[in-house]
Amino acid sequence: MNIVRTIADLRGEIARWRVAGQSIALVPTMGALHAGHIALVGAALSIADQVVVSIFVNPTQFAPNEDLARYPRDEAGDVAKLAGAGAHLVWAPNVAEMYPPGFATQVAVGGAALPLEGEFRPHHFGGVATVVCKLLSSVTPNIALFGEKDFQQLAVIRQMVRDLALPVAIHGVPTVREEDGLALSSRNAYLSEDERYIAPMLYKVITDVARGRDPDEAGQALLAAGFAKLDYIAVRDAETLGPFQPGTGRPGRVLAAVWLGKTRLIDNVSC
Ligand code: PAF
C-alpha cells in the first residue's frame, strides 16, 4: 500500500488505474481511525477495484474555539490499520498542499447545512464542503463513502454533489457501535472513565425518540443523567433535515448533539 502526499503523485497513481479500466472508491477521513472507518474501507473494497483513503485533519471545518489542536493524530497507526484492511493507497496531504498560499475559494452551502449543526457550528459545513470538493476533484473517484454517524454531513455532501453535478456516487455506510450502543468516534478518546460510562445513554434516548418518546423530555433525561449541555435533539426529514412530516411516507431521522464534560457527541437513528 503506497502513501502519497501531493496531488501530482496522487494523480500519477490514479492515471495508471484509469488506463487499466479500474474503478476507484474514496474514503475521506481525518485519521485517528477506528472500526467505523475500517467498515467504510470494507464497503469500498466490495464495490470498487481500487480504494483510496485520504487522511487530512481539515482546519477550515474547525472554529477557532474548537478542538483542531488536540484532535487525535496517529498516522503510523492509521497506515497500519489501512494496510491490514486492504486499502490500496493512502493520500495524506499537508495543509499547504490542500490550502496553498493564495487559496481563496469556498464552497458556500445552504439547504441541509443550515439547521442543527449549522446553527451551533455555522462555519463547519462550508469547510467540510470545500475540502470534500477538493478531495473529490483530486482523486476523481467513481464512488465516495461516508459514515452515517455524521448524518447531516452526508446529507450536505449529497446535496453538494447533486447541485454541482459532480460525477461521483455517494454511499452512506451505517454507524458502527460499541456493544453498549455508543457510536464509534475519534472524539470518544476524550471521554473520562465516568463519562464513557454515561455516554451510551445518548443512543438509548434517541432510539426511544424514534419510537415516540418526546424529544424535549428525552433531552431533560440526558441532562439528569449527567450530560452537561444539550445542543439539540430533533426529529427531521432525513434528506432535507427540515421539519419531519409524519404520514407523508418520507423517511425521518432523530439527530442529537450533546456535551459530556468538554466533549461534544453527536448521534442519529432512523425513524
Ligand atoms: O467526516 C470526516 O472525517 C470529515 O468531516 C471529512 C469528510 C473527512 C472532511 O474533512
Write down the CATH superfamily of domain 2-173.
HUPs (3.40.50.620)
Chain segment 66-94, per-residue pLDDT in tens: 989 999 999 999 999 999 999 999 999 99
Closest of 236, 235, 225, 234 to residue 259, by C-alpha: 225
What's residue 152's pLDDT?
Answer: 98
What's residue 30's pLDDT?
Answer: 97
User: Is 136 a pocket residue for ligand 1 (Cβ < 6 Å)?
Assistant: no
pTM over 0.95: yes
Q: Which residues of 69-99 are buried (b: 16+ CB within 10 A; e: fewer)?
A: eebbeeeeebbebbeebebbbbbbbeeebbb
What's residue 100's pLDDT?
Answer: 98
Q: Where are the domains of the chain?
A: 2-173, 186-270
What's residue 26's pLDDT?
Answer: 99
Q: What gap in Å lies between CA 51 and CA 143, rounded to an integer?
A: 10
**How close is the Cα of 96 to the center of ligand 1, in Å?**
18
How open is the CA angle 133-138-144, to the nearest 5 degrees?
A: 60
Cell triple for 214: 418526546
186-270: CATH number: 3.30.1300.10
Of 54, 132, 145, 187, best ligand 1 pocket probe by most atoms within 8 Å of the beta carbon:
132
Query: Given the DSSP bridges, would you call strands 229-237 and 89-91 parallel, antiparallel or unpaired?
Result: unpaired
> What strands, in cross-sheet order, belong to the sheet with 263-270?
229-237, 252-260, 263-270
**How close is the Cα of 18 to the center of ligand 1, in Å?**
25
For 92, phi then psi, to 5°, come to: -125, 75
Q: Which residues of the chain have pLDDT under 70?
A: none
User: Is 128 a pocket residue for ligand 1 (Cβ < 6 Å)?
Assistant: yes
What's residue 101's pLDDT?
Answer: 98
**How close is the Cα of 225 to the center of ligand 1, in Å?**
30
% of residues, the chain, pLDDT over 90: 99
What's residue 29's pLDDT?
Answer: 98
What's residue 133's pLDDT?
Answer: 98
Catalytic residue status for 37: yes
Chain segment 32-73, per-residue pLDDT in tens: 999 999 999 999 999 999 999 999 999 999 999 998 999 999
